[in-house]
Amino acid sequence: MKVYNFDKVISRDGTYSAKYNNKGREIIPLSVADMDIPVADFMVSELSVANQKGIYGYTLLSDDWQQVTAQWYQRHYSWKVNPEHIVFCPRVVQAVSLYIQNFTQPGDAIVSLAPAYHPISHAVEVNHRVLLESALLYRDRSYEIDFADLEDKFKTACCFILISPHNPTGTIWSEDNLRKIASLAEKYNVFIISDDVHADFNFIKKQHQTISSISSYVAQNSFIVHLRQKHSIWPDLKSPILLLLMISVEKSLNQLLLQQVSIILVISLFLHFSVLTAMVILG
């Protein structure tokens, strides 16, 4: 097995790096999820081969991408997913916003744990829904959910946005935590959106567990947002968001996502690489 050189320093000068756009200021840039290390050699090689063709035309997803994705979840999370329940969306926040816009009403209450990744929380308010934040409790150098407060907020909410593992605290929710959330969701008929984009940054011995695998209610009243580029260190190539649907509104949301994709196809400079990255990671 090749030893990876984590000490190699690569200059980001002249690359318009979002992380280092304040060069010269005395700050430590920790706000951008950019790991400052190059991707694996085989990924660079695959992209180089594609790059040599010199054509960056519009690209479709491969015929078997859903099956390949389902196999990934089976191998890595022991989670059996119906390939037909996997659809494409270019980005996480757009997927969350599409659900909010089309399956909730202005003024509806949506719950999130706090602190939380701001763009997702902002998606609630910018779409004129009421954001109910349940503050995490900090005890013994770790964060935990205040389930009494969470239940109180579930009583008036239609939807709960979970981030698992949690961003920004890095907390990996235990199976007991997930079961309690699932039980409350069923009790108060709350739909769950789970952002699992950091699932592969899991440094404990247990596999990542999605909340949709916890109960039959959640399996039918949730979707999981996931993507492959986070742990593969290429966020700017926009590899596809894999939206796992287990809900009765699947076909409607799928059509909305397809409309969204058709718009983004026109303006995206990186879609050609998006499919290539998906093929390299999932293949």
Q: Given this model, what pLDDT does residue 18 score?
A: 80
pTM over 0.85: no
Residues of the chain short of pLDDT 50, as ranges, are 236, 240, 246-249, 251, 260-283
Q: Given this model, what pLDDT does residue 130 score?
A: 98
Torsion angle of alpha carbons 171, 177, 179, 182, nearest 10°?
-70
- Please tell me what DSSP assigns to residue 247: S
Q: Assess contact for 184 and 156: CB atoms under 8 A.
A: no
Residue 253 to residues 26, 139, 223, 248, 276: CA-CA distances in angstroms?
Answer: 45, 40, 11, 10, 25
Distance CA 164, CA 171 (A): 8
Closest CA relative to residue 246, chosen from 199, 200, 191:
191
Q: Given this model, what pLDDT does residue 264 score?
A: 34
Q: Assess contact for 149 and 134: CB atoms under 8 A.
A: yes
Q: How many helices (H) does the chain have, and how many strands (E)?
A: 10, 9
Q: Given this model, what pLDDT does residue 146 score?
A: 98
